[in-house]
Amino acid sequence: MNESTKLQLAPWVATIALFAFWEVGCRLFQIPEFILPTPTASIAAFFQYFYAIMFNAWFTLWVTMVGFAIAVVFGLFLGVLTGASALSYAALYPILVGFNAIPKVAIVPVLVIWFGIGAVPAVLTAFLISFFPIVVNVATGIATLEPELKDVLRSLGARPLDILFKVGLPRAMPYFFASLKVAVTLAFVGSVISETIAGNRGIGYLMLQASSSFRVPLVFAGLITVAVMGVGMYAIFALIEKRMTGWAFRGQGRA
Amino acid sequence: MSFIGIDAVSLRYGGDEGTLAVEDCSLSIERGEFVALVGPSGCGKSTLLKMVSGLELPSGGRIRLDGDEVKGPQHGIGIAFQNATLLPWRSTLDNVLLPLEVSREHRSSFRRKKKQHIERAMELLATVGLDEFATHAPYQLSGGMQQRANLCRALIHEPELLLLDEPFAALDAFTREELWGVLQKLFMDRKFTVILVTHDLRESVYLADTVHVVSKRPGRIVLTKRIGLERPRTLEQTFDHGFVDIVHELRDAISEVRAS
């Protein structure tokens, strides 16, 4: 087996090993199902409640994606603003950091008061939790522009906007796409939190219902579904990253 | 009147209490002259260069460029630094074309005249021996090749003034000497004015018409040496007695400044 096949197989082997460890542990120590169900029981629950899970997973997925899309637009905008101007960086950064430090769980009830139960609080929570890494990364990408390069361009009479569009933004793209991978998984955390606290649909809501009736295998089936969706979106954005910013991955098996 | 007049210029960084980088420095440069500034590190050579380009404004004295006082970033100057800073997402050719896309003079007509611009860029790349690498990405070029492309980028808009801040300092000795030849050829063909900041005394004597020795911080001109050698100068010449004597003279001047 050569190196690249090994690398391709590694994540599958590790995941299967984790599930096997979990299964064996549960059986060996005879852990009751309502405390920690085995993976096989969880997967059985997944198929038993397949339609309910799919219905709610679909809801969670689109809610997350809408929140994430807003986060991308907003994060890119704020990132460019704080990265390109030292003044707006100084003005906005403390606010952003403070805002990011607020537990989003605490905001959900407020959002419910404002917008009622349903998709809107979940979309907003997904947005609020995921825009910060995008802002930070885009701002870093733009702010770390080599001063020499800036001098070269300024001495040509380049306008600040030229420098931003010709150099700053392209340069920030690897940072931007790297942050998308992180942000999209965070967005799932946000929407599921919101659904769990105040929802009437979605995986979070399903898990809450299941745990209140002690159907713990179903709870774990929900958790695994969220994890799979998160990994899937991560993979999609990793692929887009490679496509868009191949120049930043030189000599690492460029696709 | 000279092309560039630096008249009793001083620059203090960081307010009244800050470091004095350049003090009472005067210098005049003729059109088409190749000037080298040499001196101990941190003596304000690069600061002087920045002031000529208007990227840094003097806190005292005046700088004139082509008759007008420098009051802000000048347009249409070519600059190259030690770090080539080519854009990694652009091909070598597109990197060289960048100045035409953003410069005041060319930006509006860039698309219309793109074909001519590409021809001009290819011609320039050919003079430095890079025409076969036009479509390569910067990381596929060696350090010396990147620096050649950097020179092309600094010259594509045919500036009258080329400012070079230790452009060859990060290269190995052989590549550096090779690029001296490249730069001398470009200078002889195109007849622009050059200010070169360097630590390398052989480099300064090989390339320049006039070498100015700058004192340690705050920088002032302590010795001005005309180099009367015929062009094109050859690498063999750099080992001649006459050449070596000039290098020694400059060396002594710098040792004195450093000791003082």
- Nearest chain B alpha carbon to A159: B102
CA A128/CA A71 separation, integer angstroms: 7
Tell me B74's DSSP state.
P
Q: Is residue B178 part of a domain?
A: yes
Instruction: Kindly state whether residues B103 and B70 are assigned to the same domain.
Output: no
- Give the tens place of pLDDT for each residue, B186-233: 899 888 999 999 989 999 999 999 999 988 777 788 888 898 888 888
CA B160/CA B32 separation, integer angstroms: 8
Give the end of a domain, one of B159, B190, B216.
Answer: B159
Instruction: Kindly state whether residues B154 and B170 are assigned to the same domain.
Output: no
Whether the pLDDT of residue B16 is over 80: the answer is no
Q: Is residue B9 part of a domain?
A: no
Give the tokens for residue A181.
């991978």
**How confident is the model at residue B173, as a pLDDT?**
87
Instruction: Kindly state whether residues B215 and B109 are assigned to the same domain.
Output: no
Nearest to B102 among A148, A153, A245 (CB): A153
Do the strands B77-81 and B34-38 form a parallel or antiparallel pair, or are they unpaired?
Answer: unpaired
- Structural domains counted in chain B: 2
Whether the pLDDT of residue B236 is over 80: the answer is yes
**pLDDT tens digits for chain A (255 residues)?**
788 888 989 999 999 999 999 999 999 999 998 889 999 999 999 999 999 999 999 999 999 999 999 999 999 999 999 988 889 999 999 999 998 899 988 999 999 999 988 899 999 999 999 999 999 999 999 988 888 888 888 888 788 888 898 899 999 999 999 999 999 999 999 999 999 988 889 999 999 999 999 899 999 999 999 999 999 999 999 998 888 887 777 654 433
Chain B residues closer than 8 Å to A154 by CB: 55, 73
Helix, strand, coil abundance in chain B, percent, nearest 5: 40, 25, 35
B77 contacts A155? CB cut-off 8 A: yes
Instruction: Kindly state whether residues B72 and B173 are assigned to the same domain.
Output: yes
A166 contacts B73? CB cut-off 8 A: no
A157 contacts B103? CB cut-off 8 A: yes
pTM for this predicted structure? 0.80
- Give the tens place of pLDDT for each residue, B93-112: 999 999 888 887 777 788 88
Q: Which domain holds residue B51?
A: 30-57+66-76+161-260
Q: ipTM for the complex?
A: 0.79
Residue B192 sits in a domain whose CATH number is 3.40.50.300
**How confident is the model at residue A251, as a pLDDT?**
53
Chain B residues closer than 8 Å to A250 by CB: 88, 137, 139
For chain A, say whether B74 makes contact (Cβ under 8 Å). yes
State the virtual CA torsion across A107, A109, A113, A119 in degrees, nearest 10.
90
Q: What is the 3-state secondary structure (H, E, C) of B153-216?
A: HHHCCCCCEEEEECCCCCCCHHHHHHHHHHHHHHHHHHCCEEEEEECCHHHHHHHCCEEEEECC
CA B194/CA B32 separation, integer angstroms: 7
Q: Is residue B181 part of a domain?
A: yes
Give the end of a domain, one of B109, B141, B159.
Answer: B159
CA A185/CA A189 separation, integer angstroms: 7
SS3 of B5, please? strand
Instruction: Kindly state whether residues B121 and B204 are assigned to the same domain.
Output: no
Q: Is residue B10 part of a domain?
A: no
Chain B residues closer than 8 Å to A153 by CB: 98, 102
- Give the tens place of pLDDT for each residue, B60-83: 888 998 888 888 888 878 899 888
Give the end of a domain, one of B159, B185, B203.
Answer: B159
Chain A residues closer than 8 Å to B153 by CB: 152
**How confident is the model at residue A2, as a pLDDT?**
84
**How confident is the model at residue A253, as a pLDDT?**
42
**How confident is the model at residue A154, as a pLDDT?**
84
Write out the E strands in chain B.
Answer: 4-12, 20-29, 34-38, 60-65, 68-69, 77-81, 161-165, 193-198, 210-214, 221-226
Domains, chain A, in order of start with CATH, read: 52-246 (1.10.3720.10)
- Give the tens place of pLDDT for each residue, B143-189: 889 999 999 999 898 889 999 999 888 888 888 898 899 899 989 98
Tell me A117's DSSP state.
S
**How confident is the model at residue A254, as a pLDDT?**
38
Instruction: Kindly state whether residues B230 and B174 are assigned to the same domain.
Output: yes
DSSP assignment of A228-243 equals HHHHHHHHHHHHHHHH
Instruction: Kindly state whether residues B121 and B238 are assigned to the same domain.
Output: no
Q: Are A233 and A241 in contact (CB under 8 A)?
A: no
Instruction: Kindly state whether residues B148 and B70 are assigned to the same domain.
Output: no
Q: Is residue B45 part of a domain?
A: yes
Give the tokens for residue A68.
């994430």
Instruction: Kindly state whether residues B137 and B186 are assigned to the same domain.
Output: no
How many CA atoms lie less than 13 Å away from B158 in the CB half-sphere?
Answer: 9
Helix B173-190 and helix B114-127: axis angle, to 10°? Answer: 130
